[in-house]
Amino acid sequence: MSRRTIYFPHSYGVFALLFLILVLIIGLIFFGVVGIAFRQVGFSLQTTVLILVATFVGSSINIPLLKLKAVIPIVKEEYVSFFGIAFRVPQVEYGEFTTLVAMNVGGAIIPTVVSAYLLWKMPSAALYALIGTVVVAVVTHAVARPVKGLGIVTPAFVPPLAAALSAYLLPSNAPAVVAYVSGVLGTLFGADIANLHKIPKLGARIASIGGAGTFDGVFLSGIIAVLLV
């Protein structure tokens, strides 16, 4: 028997089916956890489903806001022949680079609207949510790091932990609301908005606030913070 022979006891269709089942189970667990978090802040099952569908659809929509320009170094390679041998000589030139800054609907606008609705529904928690937002924004901004070609990177559990701790320590009668609002707005301001001036130097044509994925860190920070509280 050849060493390259690989034996599969099942067909590829079985593996594909098992993979789809795994994805379905993970999806159900995720939506179940998100549903628990939203029920903690007072949303019904129907409203939770509506928010999740809107977030999923809105994740593909970016609203342009402004353009940022920066002068960045551009490395170009030139070759010089010496006695028949080609040598690579890098040349550094400086050029103007423009980045389009946009706001993602699912990752930024919808969580912000949900936060505003919660504060309107429970105004007694507004002051504590503001304090929590400032705390989370300061902590998030301190740990956020710009990564060229990727964007602003933040440790996943730092913002929700800061939001949950703030909601736990503040004497509010609605800690879940304070945790959600602090997690969402604190991450949005601390990681994205406060680092806008660093975006052009990262070499990205488009920078989407809250648009790193369907369920961006802004969205997840609020959910995880509520679960922790």
- Domain limits, the chain: 12-70+98-228
| Gap between the Cα atoms of 137 and 193, Å rounded | 10
Tell me how far CA of residue 148 lies from CA of 23, 65, 67, in angstroms. Answer: 31, 21, 18
pLDDT digits (tens, 9 = 90+) for 7-21: 445 556 656 666 666
Beta-carbon contacts of 208 under 8 Å, excluding residues fewer than 6 positions away, are 62, 102, 103, 104, 107
Question: Residue 1 pLDDT more than 50?
Answer: no
pLDDT digits (tens, 9 = 90+) for 36-80: 788 888 888 888 888 888 888 888 888 888 887 766 666 666 666
pLDDT digits (tens, 9 = 90+) for 141-159: 999 887 776 667 788 789 9
Output the pTM of the full model.
0.75
Long-range contacts of 194-199, Cβ-Cβ distance < 8 Å, separation of 24 or more: 194/137, 194/141, 194/144, 195/141, 195/144, 195/146, 195/152, 196/68, 196/101, 197/68, 198/146, 198/152, 199/68, 199/99, 199/101, 199/146, 199/151, 199/152
Lowest mean pLDDT among 99-103, 113-117, 170-174: 99-103
Per-residue pLDDT, averaged over 179-186, amounts to 93
Instruction: Please give the pLDDT value at position 119.
Output: 93
Instruction: Please give the pLDDT value at position 203.
Output: 67
Query: Would you place residue 214 in the very low, low, confident or very high pLDDT band (cuts 50, 70, 90)?
Result: very low
